[in-house]
Amino acid sequence: MAILSPSLLAADPLNLGKEMKRAEAAGAQWLHVDVMDGCFVPNLSSFTYSTVAAMRKATSLTLDVHLMIEKPIRYVEDFCRAGADYLTIHVEADSRENIRAALEKIRGLGVRPGIVLKPGTPAEAAEEFLPLVDMVLVMTVEPGFGGQKFMASMMPKVTRLRQLLDKVNPSCHVEVDGGVDKGTCRTCMESGADVLVAGSAFFRSEDPEALRILIEG
């Protein structure tokens, strides 16, 4: 069984507070917040650190913030101070030195750091960071947009990362993000993921609790 992290990217942007309550009523323990800069990914999102600060005041759910931005070291402090619980940055978004420094900065501010891999990035690219993080996120779509088709070809990477983590950092989560729904959640869990992000399949469903039960039991 795993943890569901509903992605607010698929929620009604004019009613975010109500949407967060709806997720809570469906039994969600986490909320996933996608931050996009129009550079690292070819899209913008309406979420920034001021949104995270407002969310923090409104909920005690775990705020799982996914930064899809270039050179995230510039903004990690703002997101930590805003109240993120987990702050994940892309391994492709800066030099190795700056990624390491950003992860250490997040940890130093009392927030759980995470590293994210795009579909084309091999597990080994994250290897040196595995001892430093509390979550590794494997993208199962190209980052930037909700509602895309799940890439089952990412499952060996999930398993590989789980195996690498079991040696150096066994309590670290492995998260998947993109195209997760009732049909694809099982293969994610069987492959070793223990946190599953779902946007469309949760917020655009008539029965979001059914997906939550399928994932969390």
Binding site for ligand DX5 (CB under 6 A): 7, 9-10, 32, 34, 66, 141, 143-148, 177-180, 197-201
Q: Is 34 a catalytic residue?
A: yes
Least distance between ligand DX5 and beta carbon 181 (Å): 7
Crossing angle between the packed helical segments 49-58 and 16-25, to the nearest 10 degrees? 50
Structure tokens at 159: 């398993």
Distance of closest approach, residue 160 Cβ to ligand DX5, in angstroms: 21
Residue pair 135/173 in contact by the 8 Å Cβ criterion: yes
From 12, 34, 166, 181, the catalytic residue: 34
Residue number with CB closer to ligand DX5 (37 or 177): 177
Binding partner of 114, given ligand DX5, Zn ion, none, CB within 5-8 angstroms per partner class: none
**CA distances from residue 113 to 23, 91, 150, 187 in whole angstroms, order as listed:** 24, 12, 25, 25
Spatial strand order in the sheet of 62-68: 3-6, 195-198, 173-177, 135-139, 112-117, 86-90, 62-68, 30-36
Catalytic residue among 37, 64, 134, 177: 177
Contact stretch for Zn ion (CB under 5 A) within 65-73, 82-90, 154-162, 187-195: 65-73
Catalytic residues: 34, 177
